[in-house]
Amino acid sequence: MTIQDLLHEPRFWYLVAFVLFFAVFGRRLWRPLVAMLDARATTVRLELDEAARLRREAEAMLAEARQERQAALADAERMVADARAEAVRIAEVARAEAEANAVRRERMAQDRIHAAERAAVTEVRNVAADVATEAARAAVAEALTAATDAGLIDRAIAGLPAAFTTRVAA
């Protein structure tokens, strides 16, 4: 390719126009372009710093949440252990109360049995006394005749003045 051909080539003129454009307007365009890129770089740097700060805060919050979780788990385990100990204590108290109730009821049953035995013995004695009294009355009624009764009554009447005098003297 020759210079003549090069001058008739549209691509060559595009290149020349491009170079001239940047030669004439390059400084005017370069400064705002650089300023815009610097501002964008500053904004990106600030956003990265903010993201790093937020990440550190999130990691700190995560660590704190993990610690709180561990503390909550420890509290829950302690509560479960306390509840189990309380349940054992309550069961022991209930067992002791049940044993005391059983002993008390056994004692009450024995007292009732003894009272029933005493009542039965008393009733047997009363029945025996009634039977003995009835037998004695029947025996006396058979043994004493009207003449024997009259003699006993006469002797009792004769002994009355002596009984009165001993009673009055006493």
d(CA 9, CA 17): 13
pLDDT digits (tens, 9 = 90+) for 112-138: 999 999 999 899 888 888 888 888 888
d(CA 154, CA 159): 9
d(CA 114, CA 107): 10
- For the chain, the residue count is 170
d(CA 45, CA 53): 12
Crossing angle of helices 160-169 and 146-158, in 10° steps, is 40
The whole-model pTM stands at 0.41
Least confident of 4-18, 65-79, 80-94, 129-143: 129-143
Cβ-contact 44, 38 below 8 angstroms = no
pLDDT of residue 170: 57
**pLDDT beyond 90 at 53:** yes
Burial of 129 (0-12, 13-18, 19+ CB in 10 A): exposed
pLDDT digits (tens, 9 = 90+) for 85-117: 999 999 999 999 999 999 999 999 999 999 999
pLDDT of residue 169: 61
pLDDT of residue 168: 61
d(CA 80, CA 82): 5
| Domain positions in the chain | 3-141
List the structure tokens of 28. 């005017």
In eight-state DSSP terms, residue 132 is H
Cβ-contact 30, 24 below 8 angstroms = no
**52, 80, 73: which is closest to 65 by C-alpha?**
73
Element (H, E) at 27: helix 10-143
